[in-house]
Amino acid sequence: MPEHLVLGREHLQGLFDALKTRNYQILGPTVRDGAIVYDELSSSDELPIGWTDEQEGGRYRLKKRNDRACFGYVVGPHSWKRFLHPPAVRLWQASRNGKGFQILEEKPVKRKMAFIGVRACEIHAIAIQDKVFLSGAVADSHYQARRDGNFVLAVNCGQAGNTCFCVSMSTGPKADSGFDLALTEILEGEQHYFVVEIGTELGREVLSGIPQAGASAAQVEKAKAIHAAAASQMGRSMDTTGIKELLYANLEHPRWEEVATRCLTCANCTMVCPTCFCSTVEDITDLTGEHAERWRKWDSCFTTDFSYIHGGSVRATAKSRYRQWMTHKLATWIDQFGSSGCVGCGRCITWCPVGIDITEEVRAIRGGPPSADGGHSGKERP
């Protein structure tokens, strides 16, 4: 049985201070530009207190809650990959030195980052990216330097979004491992506290100077009821039975043509996906020709350049690009990395400008009836 403690809401800042004292950069959710994004926080007051998010295919809106919950939302457009695998990283520089070039390798930046409010599906997404970047013959030194020394403060979801399907992917809504501390937020009348599960000795040590008490059996049961309620609220589901074989057997299914008539190949789905890792390299030179740099930047399998090889793109059509993305996420990823590439966070559904829904596409290829609401949960699109 894991050890549970209770932390009063008034002591959340103490947790921030304890992390700062240990030289962590605190990164967590905050409201900016009409969305809940992840950024550097200096105080717990910058959390999205009293805000929630409404999500549907192609729709995201912030709404005021009628309480002061700190984590009363689901997930936004950002994921932790922006800190572990940043959108742009300089790999090396080159300068003329008279006879030729001197290459200056970019030293990986070692940072102690504390991630605040990490959801269960996101912990699974980080584990998937760990496999992508750190397993195999050569580990990615930039990812490794950023990943080493992370402190993970997980938050178990108290509600699910309309586009969430973590239960189908067995990735949530409760965090089971991969955290230093995991909080379940409880609001009952005037009472506002967190049931805390200790995941590591580091978590225990960080918590040690902060007033806390052991959780009662009733408080632990309340936390469990919250997890169960979130699990029962999933807005989407996906039948993953034999999904690899299903997709391999249906590479010419007419549904790929149908989805291609809607897909804008904008790449939003890959940018917001917490597991997508495709990148390209760009070389730049200054006007004098004395200095050059190579940068690694996020790329997407939805661009024609991504599959360009001598003379043309392998995937010239929207059909081939959508099929590549979805079959990679749900089928070839399993052969490549031993697990699905999808954690059911729902971001690709919410942030697709035309509301293409990966769960509905799987359902269509499986040949089953559309979901009762036609895949759009009966809500009107804006």
Asked if 160 and 231 touch (Cβ cutoff 8 Å), the reply is yes
Which of residues 142 and 321 has its CB atom nearest to ligand SF4 in the complex? 321
Tokens of residue 269, six digits:
């789905």
- Listed in sequence order, the residues at least 6 apart from 137 whose beta carbon sits closer than 8 Å to its beta carbon are none
Tokens of 344: 């059911």
Q: Which is nearer to ligand SF4, 353 or 368 (CB)?
A: 353
CA distance 230 to 187: 15
Q: Residue 165 or residue 193: which is nearer to ligand SF4 going by CB?
A: 165
Structure tokens at 282: 């760009």
Q: How far is the CB of 110 from ligand SF4 (least distance, A)?
A: 28
Task: In whole angstroms, give the CA distance from residue 141 to residue 145.
Answer: 6
**16: amino acid identity, one letter:** F
Q: How far apart are CA 9 and CA 5, in angstroms?
A: 13
Q: How far is the CB of 359 from ligand SF4 (least distance, A)?
A: 8
How many residues appear in the chain?
382
CA angle, residues 74, 75, 76, in degrees to nearest 5? 130
Nearest approach, Cβ of 214 to ligand SF4 (angstroms)? 36
Q: Which helix (H) or strand (E) covers residue 7, if one does?
A: strand 4-8
The distance of closest approach from Cβ of residue 171 to ligand SF4 in the complex, given in angstroms and rounded to an integer, is 9
In the complex, least distance from residue 348 CB atom to ligand SF4, rounded to whole angstroms: 3
* Binding positions for ligand SF4, rule: CB under 6 A: 263-269, 272-275, 302, 329, 342-348, 352-354, 356, 358
Nearer to ligand SF4, 48 or 274 (CB): 274
- Longest CA–CA span in the chain (Å) reads 75
Contacts of 367 (CB under 8 A, 6+ apart): none
> Least distance (Å) from ligand SF4 to the CB of residue 113?
21
55: its two tokens: 């999500």
User: How near is the Cβ of 142 to ligand SF4 at its closest, in Å?
Assistant: 22
Q: Which is nearer to ligand SF4, 19 or 125 (CB)?
A: 125
Cβ-based nearer residue to ligand SF4, 132 or 267: 267
Nearer to ligand SF4, 206 or 243 (CB): 243
The Cα 318–Cα 326 span in angstroms is 12
**CB-nearer residue toward ligand SF4: 227 or 321:** 321
Whose tokens are 């994004």? That residue is 37
**Kind plus residue range of the DSSP H or E element containing 279:** strand 279-285
Cα four-point dihedral sign 103, 107, 108, 114: negative
In the complex, least distance from residue 52 CB atom to ligand SF4, rounded to whole angstroms: 19
